[in-house]
């Protein structure tokens, strides 16, 4: 009898262990911000892998076979959308040979679907205009309130795929929402002193952040997104900044700084290189500390700006 009990106990342990592993949902995200939020909502029920590191420019990622392997094993793909990943994501989806993560399938989530978009292009758009995103600016994650929307979309999708654990995802969502709302209040209080401050950004990456925190972006170093600026544009930008006494240039830290530094030298402005995604610096470890880092660095510059 003991022999049968022991065999049964071993079999049960093996079965439970296997079931536990199989119960973990494999989630692949394109950006590290989406991975950070997904971890908050999924908790221990999911495994999350981001394809793009926080210090990389997500516009220009080389599709790798290793990415296809990750996506082949994914139960859920979450991506930024608005054509941020237009140059490489479709190649990976095709190469992954995973029908569950294709457009229209249950394991496919465009995180931008419920976002109020900025800079939606009107009229004809072509490549001569640079890396234009006709459906809207894809850097919506830099408005922290959009983090609440992203989290809700991820919760809805995880609950759809794993209805039995929906109550756990709901609990995680509530905890995330409560913490983020508290942080947003503190961030807004910190930035209130700089309402209306005029800035220049290198790329149209800070539009959502600036709009939310009431900063005024007067121009960009890039005249056309993704295309190096001309001497003529830099001359006009320099004159504009001197005329309006603009003393801050915001730049994601994955961009090369030559042009921004050139403008800074001629205007007496400061180039503030910031992480634009989770993992962009060692301090920006998750979605909360990303904003902590950005706002702390901005505060250091803006509080001393003449």
Over residues 133-166, the pLDDT tens digits come to 889 999 999 999 999 999 999 999 999 999 999 9
**Banded model confidence at residue 125, pLDDT cuts 50, 70, 90:** low
Give dist(CA 288, CA 44) in Å, integer. 19
Helix (H/G/I), strand (E/B), else coil: 77: strand
- Say if CB 216 and CB 195 are below 8 A apart: no
At residue 12, does pLDDT exceed 50?
no
Q: What is the pLDDT of residue 138?
A: 97
* CATH homologous superfamily for the domain 2-185: Nitrogenase molybdenum iron protein domain (3.40.50.1980)
Average of per-residue pLDDT values in the chain: 90
**Banded model confidence at residue 226, pLDDT cuts 50, 70, 90:** confident
Task: Provide the CB-side half-sphere exposure for 22 (13 A, CA).
Answer: 6
Which residues 6+ apart lie within 8 Å of 20 measured at CB? none
Give dist(CA 100, CA 71) in Å, integer. 10
Q: What is the pLDDT of residue 160?
A: 97
Q: What is the pLDDT of residue 18?
A: 37
Which residues 6+ apart lie within 8 Å of 264 measured at CB? 249, 270, 271
At residue 57, does pLDDT exceed 80?
yes
**What 8-state DSSP symbol labels residue 224?**
B
Give dist(CA 247, CA 224) in Å, integer. 22
Instruction: Write down the domain spans for the chain.
Output: 2-185, 195-274
At residue 114, does pLDDT exceed 60?
yes
Give dist(CA 97, CA 300) in Å, integer. 48
Q: What is the pLDDT of residue 24?
A: 87
Greater confidence (306 vs 20) lies with 306
Span 206-226, mean pLDDT?
95
Greater confidence (16 vs 185) lies with 185
Do domains 2-185 and 195-274 share one topology? The answer is: yes
Bridge-based pairing of strands 76-79 and 198-201 is unpaired
Q: What is the pLDDT of residue 22?
A: 42
**Banded model confidence at residue 121, pLDDT cuts 50, 70, 90:** confident
Rounded to two decimals, what is the model's pTM?
A: 0.89
- Tens of pLDDT, residue by residue over 245-299, are 999 999 999 999 999 999 999 999 999 999 999 999 999 999 999 999 999 999 9
- Tens of pLDDT, residue by residue over 72-105, are 999 999 999 999 999 999 999 999 999 999 999 9
Span 18-24, mean pLDDT?
47
Helix (H) or strand (E) holding 47, with range, is strand 46-50
Give dist(CA 36, CA 51) in Å, integer. 12
At residue 306, does pLDDT exceed 60?
no
Class of domain 195-274: alpha beta
Q: Tokens 């989630």 label which residue? A: 27
Q: What is the pLDDT of residue 227?
A: 87
């Amino acid at each position: 009898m003991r022999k049968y009990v022991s065999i049964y106990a071993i079999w049960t342990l093996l079965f439970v262990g296997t079931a536990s592993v199989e119960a973990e949902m494999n989630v692949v995200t394109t950006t590290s911000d989406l991975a950070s939020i997904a971890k908050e909502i999924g908790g221990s029920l999911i495994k999350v892998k981001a394809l793009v590191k926080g210090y990389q420019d997500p516009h220009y990622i080389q599709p790798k076979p290793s990415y296809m392997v990750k996506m082949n094993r994914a139960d859920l793909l979450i991506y930024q959308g608005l054509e941020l990943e237009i140059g490489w994501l479709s190649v990976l989806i095709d190469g992954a040979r995973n029908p569950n993560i294709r457009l229209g399938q249950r394991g496919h989530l465009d995180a931008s679907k419920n976002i109020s978009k900025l800079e939606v292009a009107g009229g004809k758009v072509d490549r001569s205009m640079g890396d234009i995103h006709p459906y809207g600016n894809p850097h919506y994650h830099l408005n922290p309130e959009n983090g609440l929307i992203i989290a809700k979309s991820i919760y809805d999708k995880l609950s759809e795929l794993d209805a039995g654990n929906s109550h756990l995802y709901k609990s995680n969502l509530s905890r995330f929402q409560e913490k983020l709302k508290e942080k947003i209040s503190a961030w807004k209080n910190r930035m209130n002193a700089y309402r209306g401050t005029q800035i220049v950004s290198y790329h149209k990456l800070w539009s959502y952040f600036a709009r939310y925190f009431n900063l005024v972006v007067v121009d960009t170093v890039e005249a056309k997104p993704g295309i190096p600026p001309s001497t003529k544009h830099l001359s006009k930008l320099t004159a504009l900044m001197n005329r309006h006494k603009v003393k801050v240039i915001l730049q994601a830290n994955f961009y090369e700084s030559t042009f921004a530094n050139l403008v800074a030298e001629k205007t007496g402005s400061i180039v503030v290189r910031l992480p634009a995604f989770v993992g962009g610096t060692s301090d920006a470890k998750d979605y909360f500390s990303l904003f902590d880092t950005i706002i702390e660095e901005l505060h250091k510059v803006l509080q001393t700006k003449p």
